[in-house]
Amino acid sequence: MSDLLERLRGRGWRMTAQRRVVAEVLDGDHVHLTADEVHARAVTKLPEISRATVYNTLGELVTIGEVLEVSTDKRAKRYDPNAHQPHHHLVCGQCGAIRDVHPVGNPLADLPDTERFGFTVSDVEMTYRGVCPNCAKA
Amino acid sequence: MSDLLERLRGRGWRMTAQRRVVAEVLDGDHVHLTADEVHARAVTKLPEISRATVYNTLGELVTIGEVLEVSTDKRAKRYDPNAHQPHHHLVCGQCGAIRDVHPVGNPLADLPDTERFGFTVSDVEMTYRGVCPNCAKA
DNA sequence: TGCTTGACTTAGACGTTGTCCATTGTAGGG
DNA sequence: CCCTACAATGGACAACGTCTAAGTCAAGCA
Ligand SMILES: [Mn+2]
Ligand SMILES: [Mn+2]
Ligand SMILES: [Zn+2]
Ligand SMILES: [Zn+2]
């Protein structure tokens, strides 16, 4: 996520310790943290960072399209730094583990005109549900 | 949704005015109300019904599989009485209108083994997003 | 290097959604 | 018509998120 910092600088963002830490926390693959999880991890690197700043920064990252909001569970929103490669999600119903997945085919094409009710359809979000290998063992 | 009441009676549910009213409110097609919307409508028919009872009843209906929880928006859960016919959802990004839709094909088959990470995948939930004809006019 | 300033951060109040519990009420069987 | 177990109620509480007023600081400039 080092180039995320570059892109933010390019957009005229002030580079603060708080924003750097949030960007660091969001680094990696299959990362789908809630705002409070981001805050908890950020605090270990920058103890005085506030909840409001984490919420603000995540909101801004979503607005400019650098981070996606996903709602795979019905509780808190999750923040996904993998915004530049379209993908869907596979969720374990027991432990909540989330993996990025890439189904084949074009699901948009699978919605017939007769099922569109006059809508202009632009996007589709797919959430696969199942049980992860870890939970299956137990 | 009159047969919903029948099924509930068959399961040994006590038929109370509150449960009847919640079932009435959930009657119809393309119904996807939040708990508080259900409560607001229930109150017009039975002014003394409490929020707790609406939440309890919806929770029970979900547990026994007569109603589905859907999370098409990132705020409140929505309750869907159309539980016996599998379907997906089409959501207007402007006004939030939700329609039940039936895409063709089998999206489960579109997730290759190499994209399953050892999970046992049992289900997929699809949310199409777009703009409804009403909002497109404005 | 040291100002200046407006963008940024902070703490905590507040709002919304959802859960829990002790008490009160009642559906439905005997 | 009574019992009593099940259901409803209201209000406290919890989780998640938003907002604001006041203080702080990144970054451009003398
Ligand atoms: Mn993802
Ligand atoms: Mn539906
Ligand atoms: Zn698992
Ligand atoms: Zn619309």
Q: Three-class SS of residue B81?
A: coil
CB B23 within 8 A of CB B79: no
For residue B74, pLDDT beyond 90: no
Q: Using CA atoms, how far apart are residues A99 and A31, in angstroms rounded to an integer?
A: 8
Ramachandran category for residue B128: left, alpha or beta (phi over 0 → left; psi -120 to 50 → alpha)? beta
The answer to whether A15 CB sits below 7 Å from nucleic acid chain D is: yes
The reply to whether the CB atom of residue A14 sits less than 7 A from any atom in nucleic acid chain D is yes
For residue range A81-111, list pLDDT tens digits in order: 999 999 999 999 999 999 999 999 999 999 9
Sole residue written with tokens 């699901």: A107
Distance of C1' in C5 from CA in A82, Å? 36
A interface test, pick of B115, B122, B123, B134 with most A CB neighbours within 10 Å: B115
CATH, domain range A88-137: 3.30.1490.190
The yes/no answer on whether domain B2-80 falls in CATH 1.10.10.10 is yes
Low-confidence ranges of chain A (pLDDT < 50): none
CA dist., res. A136 & res. A131, Å (int): 6
Domain(s) labelled CATH 3.30.1490.190 in chain A stretch across: 88-137
B115 contacts chain A (CB < 8 A):
yes
Contact across the interface for A103 and B121, Cβ inside 8 Å: no
Q: What is the tens place of the pLDDT at every residue in B18-58?
A: 999 999 999 999 999 999 999 999 999 999 999 999 999 99
Tell me where in chain B the CATH 1.10.10.10 domain(s) lie. Answer: 2-80
CB contact under 8 A, A119 and B99: yes
